[in-house]
Structure 1
């Protein structure tokens, strides 16, 4: 039907459909993490103006501290794709999955990353096609311990507690890595990663053959580098900014001692409850040890304290917000389930050891 023959009713329907399409597109753009990042300080300013500067400063400081990790990650992703080296890196893991899981768990247990700072590196591993099992091993173990946390934990809770936490960090990575390996072998997680910047990395240009290290000498590769750099930087920046805004709200309005005080008591049930409460809570790794030391003096078991610390580090709300941006729902659910299970098992085992 031509425009000249279109009836008034058909014309109204066409305009209505166009309006609804534009409305849906506008709402989708408003649902961006940037909208939440911008509106949150405005809401705090309206409801609690005295805390606005504190929340903005906390989120901004945390985001700035992550920029070096973000820069390394996005540059690495763009360089790997522009040169074609990602195929070599991906092939390096083929046939060596068990070794990759073990190395990832060990590296994660030693890496000085918090739960949010590890997100850019997970994005890089997903981009180069590393096995999901090795990624999960690194993902679960890396937020649990680092050299400063080890020393602070030892000072507040003793070296047995600190060394046990370090051991459980590696053990949790191994547990999660081999569990995911078994699930993948059973047909799970066919497409683990979410689309980035409106398209899947699998649909973008992939350069085959030998890597071209001087990629800037080829226009197509140079364009690929710039495109990947911009898309991944924007994608990771917006989700990390949202994660740190959520973290600032939690730290400001949810007292750590109030959260931790819920998990007192002895027996198996407090260990499970401690893991459940610790998962959505945010308890800074430097604040948690002295706080939990005080609670243990009041009767909280060492097992419950261990479960709370592990669950809180692996699956705090800021970390989960960033995790959700990278992987599809089945992988996200596996991450949460493995983190919770590992926290409970670690707490129960440590309680027996103690």
Structure 2
């Protein structure tokens, strides 16, 4: 009983130390996420994907890396792109890079791991999108991605909206002559006060979510560090095993990773226990891109050939980045 009490106190002290050192980054990450959610909308940003292929791929990578969309947000943007008959290259680029990083995650990574690690992970997220987009462009050009969309092809003249009554024809008449007038929907005007209320709501929701995940997973990570012998972590995922630690961490990222709010402090605690930076980056890349939410979002949009392309791109980038990062981390 005394051992358990000491263990709880030790873990609580480790978590508190992490909060003390990272609270400015936590607050800044919440602020950035809330501002982007309120002032940048998926329907506005999806227009970036309606360009020439190479421009669309670059725009999709930037959109994926610079926006805080979760799997649902990613699905919404890509569904809008598919409805506009966008080719697979920008869609794959966006789907591969979007779950990996975002502005608030970059800020949080700087606080937890340092700027070198955060920049490496951010650049890797961009590389994933570019590599996936290039591979999709080549495969689509050779007909290997035909029939991979789960969405019906858009009908001629545009797809029907989700609210049929918004564009329903209305009959008018005068003197026995009847004409049809199409009533076009008008976008609602959001006042400054309403947008401010949305920002306050987003701040509260993001703060609550980040606090729950950060505290819970930081505690789990430090608990595992205190229970598992340091030699076991160092031997499997440490610098002493550079060849196999990175691929092993990439594989472990699939079942262990949940989301960035929880997994970033979890990996930080693992690194304090001896996990190498290369293994940590590989874990985060594959974990973010192949989490249950990400795979579910992919399968709503695309069939297995596209999903396999994205997963393979993530693994190649994760292992390559993990092996090369030993040169500067």
TM-score over 0.5 for the pair = yes
Among 286, 311, 316, the alignment partner of 1:341 is 316
Aligned to 1:192, what secondary structure does the other structure show?
coil
Match for residue 177 of structure 1?
Answer: 133
Identify unmatched segments of 5+ residues in structure 2. Answer: 1-33, 159-165, 171-179, 186-212
Measured after TM superposition, the shift of residue 189 of structure 1 is: 0.6
Identify unmatched segments of 5+ residues in structure 1. Answer: 1-64, 81-85, 209-214, 226-247
Measured after TM superposition, the shift of residue 353 of structure 1 is: 2.6
Match for residue 128 of structure 1?
Answer: 84
User: Which of 318-327 and 173-182 deviates more?
Assistant: 318-327
Residues 151, 298 of structure 1: alpha-carbon distance in 2 compared, 3 angstrom cutoff:
same
Query: What root-mean-square deviation, in Å, do the aligned CA atoms of Structure 1 and Structure 2 show?
Result: 3.6
Residues 273, 259 of structure 1: alpha-carbon distance in 2 compared, 3 angstrom cutoff:
farther
State the TM-score, normalized to the length of structure 2. Answer: 0.62
Aligned to 2:323, what secondary structure does the other structure show?
helix
Match for residue 256 of structure 2?
Answer: 281
Match for residue 153 of structure 2?
Answer: 201
State the TM-score, normalized to the length of structure 1. Answer: 0.58
| 1:1-354 alignment runs, 5 A limit | 92-93=50-51, 96-195=52-151, 200-202=152-154, 205-207=155-157, 216=167, 218=169, 264-265=237-238, 266-354=241-329
Match for residue 244 of structure 1?
Answer: none
Residues 222, 161 of structure 1: alpha-carbon distance in 2 compared, 3 angstrom cutoff:
farther
Q: Equivalents in 1 of 2:97, 2:311: separation in Å?
A: 13
Measured after TM superposition, the shift of residue 181 of structure 1 is: 0.8
Residues 193, 299 of structure 1: alpha-carbon distance in 2 compared, 3 angstrom cutoff:
same
The alignment covers a number of residue pairs equal to: 235
Residues 291, 321 of structure 1: alpha-carbon distance in 2 compared, 3 angstrom cutoff:
same
Could you tell me whether the CA contact under 8 Å between 1:133 and 1:181 is conserved in 2?
Answer: yes
